[in-house]
Amino acid sequence: MSSPVPQTNPTAQEFTRRLGARERAVGYWVVLDAPVATERIARLGYDYVCLDAQHGLLGYSGLLAGLMAVDAGRASVGLVRVGANDPFHIGQALDAGAAGVIVPLVNTADDARRAVAAATYPPTGVRSYGPMRSGLRIGPVPAEANAAVSCLAMIETPEGLANVEEICAVPGLTGIYVGPSDLCLAVGGAFPGDPAVADEFEAALTRISAAAEAAGVAAGIHTPAGADAARRLGQGFTFATVSSDLVHLERAAADHLAAASATP
């Protein structure tokens, strides 16, 4: 039986306040255009559910439906990892109702400033006014929307790692987010999770979390499982995302097949 639905939706304002205060949060990752499945995940109690518009298998209609599904679950806020660091992608995700954006391939402080500007209305930013769905509850007054939404910069490249302290110091940035697959490649790995660069990878994570702590911003990371999320939170990260719907679907199907095929 499904768990009961909470009585009130969490708000973008409260979620962003929690991130800004470096309070712990645990989220889930969605790559499938399956709103009913997303709604069920969003009932479980994760602080946020992030829809992947960069590498995920969903277009704008799927993104919109997924954010509506998260809200219908009434236990999580919806985030979007946008496809690129530009005003169109960031503004579109926020107009669709995202409580915040995760911006990929942020390499410099200037990149971070562009992301913050795209996520905020004038005079502080360049976001175009057209909150077709978000205006129902995030804003619609521009200053209120600016204060409510989160802007998170991904640290995942050699340049981003080299500039992480300057990136974390950018005004208006809510926090940073580690893409571990790309970061592993950035420190010399031949493939994501390459054990040959495990020490270099861990050193990079230590530097990233320390930079965020020094700047007083949130530090997040993607993890393959709940136990890994707990470990990273214990190491100084303030929020962590668990795996993805596609990975868990495949894993569960494989486990059931193995059990059904076992010799009695």
Name the residues annotated as catalytic.
Answer: 55
Of residues 64, 61, 66, 7, the one with CA closest to residue 40: 66
Calpha distance 107→141 (Å, rounded): 31
Calpha distance 261→264 (Å, rounded): 9
Contacts of 25 (CB under 8 A, 6+ apart): 15, 18, 19, 47, 48, 238, 239, 240
Instruction: Return the structure tokens found at 136.
Output: 């129902």
Q: Is 234 exposed, middle or buried (0-12, 13-18, 19+ CB in 10 A)?
A: exposed
CB 212 within 8 A of CB 219: yes
3-class state of residue 49 by DSSP: strand
